[in-house]
Amino acid sequence: MANTETALKESMTIEGAIGAALVDYTSGMALGTIGGGKELDLNMAAAGNTDVVRAKLRTMEMLGLKEDIEDILITLGSQYHMIRLLKSRGSNGLFLYLALDNKRANLAMARHQLKKIEAELDV
């Protein structure tokens, strides 16, 4: 089982990774971050993407959808932003956030690798 630091380091080995964070969407706080920089404030991204997750969960509830969110993908002109909700025991209310350079990233492979990291993460 990987801890938060190990999981975030593994996330940065994904081709095209710009930054990653483990986020508590009940508070909007990043529990850990790696990468980012002046172009990508990961703490601000954590708070903003918390709103995205909450909005999607509310919408699913209003629609009566009884499914779990696997991931949320936001595509920008030069980046992919992936949000992977954690499903492992004890990780309720958490998500992995990964920002990728879309010119270097393979989206399908990044999604597969992030799913593997999520499965190995012990929070």
Instruction: Check: CB of residue 1 under 8 Å from CB of residue 122.
Output: yes
Give, in degrees to the nearest 5, the angle at Cα 102 between 13 and 104. Answer: 50
Give, in degrees to the nearest 5, the angle at Cα 103 between 98 and 109. Answer: 55
Q: What is the pLDDT of residues 43-84, one digit of tens each?
A: 999 999 999 999 999 999 999 999 989 999 999 999 999 999
Q: What is the pTM of this model?
A: 0.92
